[in-house]
Structure 1
Amino acid sequence: MAAKKGNPADETIRRAADSAHSAVDKVADVTSDTADTLNEKGQQIKHKEEQWLESVNQYVQKNPCTSIGIAVAGGFLLSRILSNR
């Protein structure tokens, strides 16, 4: 007895489902890679921020008068800029 042929519509649906599944897998892989890269960059930024804050803290401890002067001047300039708006 000869094997029964499948319905052409069923075959088309199966191929479309396989293609969709493959596309979803590719998107998931790219999304995962992107998330990993963003996480790594976020960690690098956090590390740089910690280094910068440590440098600022050391500068303020070594130069307290200069630091106060810089803060006062910065506050004055910021207030002038914001008051003109």
Structure 2
Amino acid sequence: MEITDKATNSANEAVDKVADAASQAAKSLGEKGEQLKKTEQQWMKDCRGYISENPMLSVSIAAAAGFLLSRLVSRT
């Protein structure tokens, strides 16, 4: 009986440790996700501001990028 109790306690402790580690990992991933979301929103705001301030340059850059991308895709 004593060996079974020790094995059960050890198994329970191992499960608790794994559950704690998983919980901490999930919390950390959630925090990183929030940071990435905020960063993305800031970049979008910055890009919209740049495009509003420089519409002709923005259209020229987009056209050049589209042209280069079409050339790269058509070669394969």
TM range, smaller chain: over 0.9
Query: What stretches of structure 2 of length at least 5 have no aligned partner?
Result: none
Structure of larger gyration radius:
1
Match of 2:10 in 1: 19
More helix by share: 2
TM-score, length-scaled by structure 1: 0.87
Which has the bigger relative contact order, CA under 8 A and spacing at least 6?
Answer: 2
The percentage of counterpart residues that share the same residue type is 47
Runs of 4+ in 1 over 2 A off after TM superposition: none
- Residues 4-54 of structure 1 show CA distances to partners (whole Å, capped at 9, x for unaligned) of xxxxxx211111110000000000111100101000000000000000000
How far apart are residue 75 of structure 1 and its match? 0.4
How many residues were matched structurally? Answer: 76
Equivalent of residue 79 in structure 1, options 45, 70, 73: 70
Alpha-carbon RMSD = 0.6
